[in-house]
Amino acid sequence: MDTNFTGSQIVLGTMDFGTRVRPDAAFAILDSFVAGGGIWLDTANCYSFWSDPSGIGGASERVIGSWLRARPGARDAVRIATKVRQNPLVPHSWPQSAEGLSAQAVHAGVEGSFERLGIDHVDLLWAHAEDRTVPLEETVGAFGELVAKGVALRIGAANHAAWRVERARSIAREQRVEPWTALQLRHSLVQPRPLTPVAEAGHRMLATEDLDLARSEGLAVWSYSSLMLGSYVRADKPLPQTYDHPGTARVLAVLDDVAGELSATRNQIVLAWLMRQGVDPIVGASRVEQIEEALAARDVRLSDEHMARFAEAR
């Protein structure tokens, strides 16, 4: 099994497993994903506290753990990425009791994830969001210790400013510990109006400086909300108001043209556009056919001319 980050791929997002997606449906999606050659599963210890009657996270990790136990050999077929930070420490109290990134919180969060997942190491551990109440040196040291112990094979930063990531990497060099080598941010083909925040709390948009940092330092880049929660293909899920501007209309027109030319779906073109730039899109699914459609995007080939048309439309 290839464990490096070279070559873009579809990542299965499991945020709704155990809450909005029942365990039996999640098992079918996981089975289909692996059968189709998928490798990476993305979860978090806080998924999905906002949908769970308990008011805390952990459901997604528990479903994955149950699936691993029910599928001998499955752990060798997949790579698991999870996150610490944001899980409410008091039920129904977020962000007031959100787990932070102190050394104690990081270690406790990982232990809880391992218990739910039933594993002894994670292939990629993310810091889910910044925690500026804790010295960055402490967080970097905690993540570095987990890599040194072999319980986290790689580490990354989700929803962090580029300058914070680079500062953390500099601190890691000073401490002689493993640095963050992956970024996870919100990104898709359509973009909101400049300088307007997205509605979802905690989301951070991928910016030019993030890609500059990743390309200069050889960092992996994963994108979430890549398919805009179905807005590309479902009339009942319109794009948020902040995406209502002339650039969106132009991009969607090109999207339809390219999809027709390549006999692909809108979603597949969006995923291919991301992968063409070296970004690994995270795709959530509630049905098997959705993940099958996403995996088929790996066979869609966008030309330089296609990419130029999208760039001009934006």
What are the tens digits of pLDDT across the range 111-137? Answer: 999 999 999 999 999 999 999 999 999
Residue-wise pLDDT tens digits, 253-270: 999 999 999 999 999 999
Whether the predicted pLDDT of 1 surpasses 60: no
Identify any residues that bridge with 79 across adjacent strands, giving them in sequence order: 40
Q: Which two tokens stand for residue 119?
A: 């594993």
In the prediction, which pLDDT does 235 show?
93
- Say if residue 191 is exposed, middle or buried (CB neighbours under 10 Å; 0-12, 13-18, 19+): middle
Whether the predicted pLDDT of 214 surpasses 80: yes
In the prediction, which pLDDT does 24 show?
98
Whether the predicted pLDDT of 208 surpasses 90: yes
Whether the predicted pLDDT of 55 surpasses 70: yes
Q: Which of 218, 244, 221, 222 is nearest to 231 (CA)?
A: 244
Give me the mean pLDDT over the 92-108 stretch.
97
Give me the mean pLDDT over the 151-168 stretch.
98
Whether the predicted pLDDT of 183 surpasses 80: yes
Superfamily of domain 11-313: NADP-dependent oxidoreductase domain (3.20.20.100)
Whether the predicted pLDDT of 232 surpasses 70: yes
Task: Give the span between the Cα atoms of 168 and 173, in whole angstroms.
Answer: 9
Give me the mean pLDDT over the 31-59 stretch.
98
Kindly report the average pLDDT of the chain as a whole number. Answer: 96
In the prediction, which pLDDT does 7 show?
65
Residue extents of the structural domains in the chain:
11-313
pLDDT band of 186, cuts 50, 70, 90: very high
Give me the mean pLDDT over the 162-174 stretch.
98
Whether the predicted pLDDT of 12 surpasses 80: yes
pLDDT band of 202, cuts 50, 70, 90: confident
Query: How many Å from the N-terminal Cα to the C-terminal Cα in the chain?
Result: 38
Whether the predicted pLDDT of 223 surpasses 90: yes
In the prediction, which pLDDT does 78 show?
98
HSE, side-chain direction, 13 A CA sphere, residue 58: 16
What's the chain's Rg over C-alpha atoms?
19
Residue type for position 15: M
Whether the predicted pLDDT of 64 surpasses 60: yes
In the prediction, which pLDDT does 2 show?
36
pTM over the 0.85 mark: yes
Task: Check if the beta carbon of residue 211 is closer than 8 Å to that of residue 187.
Answer: no
Whether the predicted pLDDT of 156 surpasses 70: yes
Identify any residues that bridge with 124 across adjacent strands, giving them in sequence order: 81
Instruction: Name the DSSP letter for residue 115.
Output: H
3-state secondary structure at position 218: coil
Give buried/exposed letters for 144-160 (b at 16+ CB in 10 A, else e): bbbbeeebbbbbbbbbb
Whether the predicted pLDDT of 6 surpasses 80: no
* CA 226 centroid distance within chain: 9
